[in-house]
Amino acid sequence: MNQNPLITSSGEGDPKATIFGIPFDSTHSYKPGCRFGPDVIRDAFNNIEIFHSELQVDLETVGIEDLGNTKHTVVASEMIDMVRKITKELLEKNRQLFFLGGEHLITYGTFLSFPKETGYVVFDAHYDLRDEYADSKLSHASYLRRIVEERGTENILHVGARAFAKEELAFLREHQIKTISDKEIRQGKGPQILKEYVSTFDKLYTSFDLDVFDPAFAPGVGNPEAVGINSRELFDMVYSFENKKITGVDVVELNPTYDNGSTASLAAKIISTMIALNLSK
């Protein structure tokens, strides 16, 4: 790690959650800059209320360990190897792990370090199932295809896609990847479908690409897509994780250059809520 931690915690005892940032965005093609996301998310976290009345959890009393950021690299394979090594070491501490992006390719490094039986739920406007993008197989637009090739599709649920290539849709259908569509979310079906899916897993990893939100709620992302879900729809689904063990969480694609503060605030709220949900079991 190459940077001082910025998230403060007054909690006593052993930390319940560990956070580190991965400032990588070298394969980003539209609006690069999400390598600056981790520190902006930290700043937002330190300026939101972290008492969760519904769950009766006050994070002011919970230890949160912030390890700072990994060193910056522009080489995708180097980033992935580095992140896998760190993640595997941290898993031995048996704490809830949070990864702050950076672009979505970081998930290829983090998630595959978790046990194979871990359920994977990703919220994203895009499928990220291209075989390659910009002549690279290691890309934010192809990370999920790489995961499928290594681990299969049995434990994967994709939530909220509304923008994708024909190639991706064909791959999705061929491999029968489970989804909750943008339309199903608008119809109010998202929370129940998600609850039924996660009921089959003892442990979960969740990935939040902030472009799953409509740009009206989250303008500060690398690949904004119009006609998306709102923040309430997302958090209604998030509460479907109550009583489940969430072992890993990543929050990716925050681009501070285009943000007005709302995207960072949502990212911080996601982190706060996922910690609280894990402690409320």
**Is residue 1, in this structure, part of any structural domain at all?**
no
Secondary structure E strands in the chain? 17-22, 51-52, 57-58, 64-69, 96-101, 119-123, 156-159, 178-180, 203-209, 245-252
Q: What is the dihedral of CA 96, 270, 252, 39, to 10 degrees?
A: -90
Q: What is the DSSP letter of 222?
A: S
**Is residue 137, in this structure, part of any structural domain at all?**
yes
**Is residue 25, in this structure, part of any structural domain at all?**
yes
pLDDT digits (tens, 9 = 90+) for 128-164: 999 998 889 999 999 999 999 999 999 999 999 999 9
Tell me the average pLDDT of the chain.
Answer: 94
Number of domains, the chain = 1
Is the per-residue pLDDT at 253 higher than 80? yes
Q: Which CATH number is 47's domain given?
A: 3.40.800.10
Structure tokens at 231: 């923040």
**Is residue 5, in this structure, part of any structural domain at all?**
no
Residues 35/23, Cβ–Cβ less than 8 Å = yes
Whose CA is closest to 99, among 82, 115, 116?
A: 82
Whose CA is closest to 30, among 163, 171, 168, 169?
A: 163
The secondary structure of 157-216 as a DSSP string is: EEE------HHHHHHHHHTT-EEE-HHHHHTT-HHHHHHHHHTT-SEEEEEEEGGGB-TT
d(CA 111, CA 200) in angstroms, rounded, equals: 18
Identify the pLDDT of residue 280. Answer: 87
Is the per-residue pLDDT at 2 higher than 90? no
Residues 212/121, Cβ–Cβ less than 8 Å = no
Structure tokens at 108: 């290829």
pLDDT digits (tens, 9 = 90+) for 80-136: 999 999 999 999 999 999 999 999 999 999 999 999 999 999 999 999 999 998 889
Per the DSSP assignment, residues forming a β-bridge with 213 are 229
Structure tokens at 7: 């998230």
State which residues form the domain around 185: 17-279
Per the DSSP assignment, residues forming a β-bridge with 221 are 254
Identify the pLDDT of residue 4. Answer: 47
Structure tokens at 17: 């959650």
Q: Where does the pLDDT of residue 166 fall: very low under 50, low under 70, confident under 90, or very high at 90 and above?
A: very high
d(CA 101, CA 159) in angstroms, rounded, equals: 19
Share above pLDDT 70 across residues of the chain, in percent, rounded to a whole number: 95
pLDDT digits (tens, 9 = 90+) for 11-47: 666 899 999 999 999 998 788 899 999 999 999 999 9
Identify the pLDDT of residue 159. Answer: 98
Render the burial of 228-238: b for 16+ CB within 10 Å, e for the rest.
bbebebbebbb
Identify the pLDDT of residue 230. Answer: 97
**Is residue 10, in this structure, part of any structural domain at all?**
no
Task: Provide the whole-model pTM.
Answer: 0.95
d(CA 59, CA 30) in angstroms, rounded, equals: 36
Structure tokens at 264: 């960072």
Q: Which residue has the tokens 């039924």?
A: 196
Residues 36/104, Cβ–Cβ less than 8 Å = no
Query: What's the Cα-to-Cα distance from 129 to each of 30, 72, 190, 257, rounded to whole Å?
Result: 17, 26, 22, 27
Identify the pLDDT of residue 12. Answer: 62
